[in-house]
Chains A and B, each alone.
Chain A
Amino acid sequence: MELILLIFVFVMAVFLGFELIQKVPSQLHTPLMSGSNAISGITIVGALLAAGVVEGSLGKWLGFAALILATINVVGGYMVTDRMLGMFKKKGK
Chain B
Amino acid sequence: MEYFINISYIVASALFIFGIKMLGSADTARRGNMISSIGMLIAVVVTLLTRDVNDGDSLSFGLIAVGLLIGAGVGVFAAKKVQMTGMPELVALFNGFGGLASLLVGWAEFAKEGNFDKSEYPVFTAAAVVFAVLVGGITFTGSLVAYLKLSGRMGGSATVFPGQKALNAMVFLALLAFGVVFVLTGAAWALYIVIALSLLLGVLGVIPIGGGDMPVVISFLNSFSGIAASAAGFVILNNVLIVAGCLVGASGIILTVIMCKAMNRTLADVLFGGFGSSSSKAQEVEGEMKALSVEDAFYVLEAAQSVIFVPGYGMAVAQAQHAVKELAEILEDNGCEVRHAIHPVAGRMPGHMNVLLAEADVPYEQLCEMDDVNAVMETVDVAIVIGANDVVNPAAAEDESSPIYGMPIINVHQAKSVFALKRGQGAGFSGLVNTLFFRENTRMIYGDAKETITGLVAQFKD
- Closest Cβ of chain A to B112, distance in Å, is 4
B112 CB contact (under 8 Å) in A54, A71, A79 = A54
Closest A residue to B239 by CB, please name it.
A9
Chain B residues, Cβ within 8 Å of A23? 24
Q: In the assembled complex, how far is the CB of residue B121 from the closest CB belonging to chain A, in whole angstroms? A: 15
| Residues of B with C-beta under 8 A to A81 | 33
A6 to B298 Cα, complex, angstroms: 64
Other-chain residue from A46, A51, A67, A82 in contact with B233 (beta carbon distance below 8 A): A46
- Let me know if B91 and A10 touch, CB within 8 A: no
Q: Which residue of A lies closest to B90 (CB)?
A: A80
User: Is B438 part of the binding interface, using a Cβ–Cβ cutoff of 8 Å?
Assistant: no
Residues of B within 8 A of A91 (CB): 358, 361-364
Q: Mark B94-128, 1 if CB is under 8 A from A, else 0.
A: 11011011101101110110100000000010000
Contact check, A76 vs B75: say whether CB atoms are below 8 A apart: yes
Partner of A76, one of B94, B114, B222: B94
Decide: A28 and B23 in contact? CB cutoff 8 A: yes
B59 touches A6 (CB 8 A): no
Set B29, B249, B253: member contacting A85, Cβ < 8 A: B29
B67–A67 touching, CB < 8 Å:
yes
Cross-chain pair count, CB within 8 angstroms: 391
Best-surrounded residue of A21, A56, A65, A83 (most CB of chain B within 10 A): A21
A20 touches B247 (CB 8 A): yes
Would A68 and B70 count as touching, CB distance under 8 A? Answer: yes
Q: Which residues of A contact B50 (CB under 8 A)?
A: 49, 52
CA distance A76 to B73 in the complex (A): 9
Contacts of A56 in B (CB 8 A): 111-112, 114
Q: Is the CB of B364 within 8 A of A92?
A: yes
Interface pair A59/B342, CB less than 8 Å apart: no
- Decide yes or no: A16 and B111 within 8 Å by CB, A33-B255, A53-B58 being known contacts: no
B98 touches A35 (CB 8 A): no
Tell me if B16 counts as interface (CB < 8 A to partner A): yes
Would A62 and B107 be within 8 Å (CB), given that A39-B248, A42-B240, A70-B97 are in contact? Answer: yes
Contacts of A16 in B (CB 8 A): 17, 246-247, 250
Q: Are B58 and A54 in contact (CB under 8 A)?
A: yes
A26 to B215, CA, bound (A): 12
A selection of 24 A-B contacts at a CB cut-off of 8 Å is A6-B237, A9-B243, A18-B250, A20-B247, A31-B351, A33-B219, A38-B94, A39-B247, A41-B94, A41-B101, A41-B229, A42-B229, A48-B53, A52-B54, A54-B112, A55-B58, A60-B59, A63-B104, A67-B67, A71-B70, A72-B97, A84-B355, A84-B358, A92-B27
* 3 nearest CB pairs, A to B: A71-B71, A17-B250, A29-B351
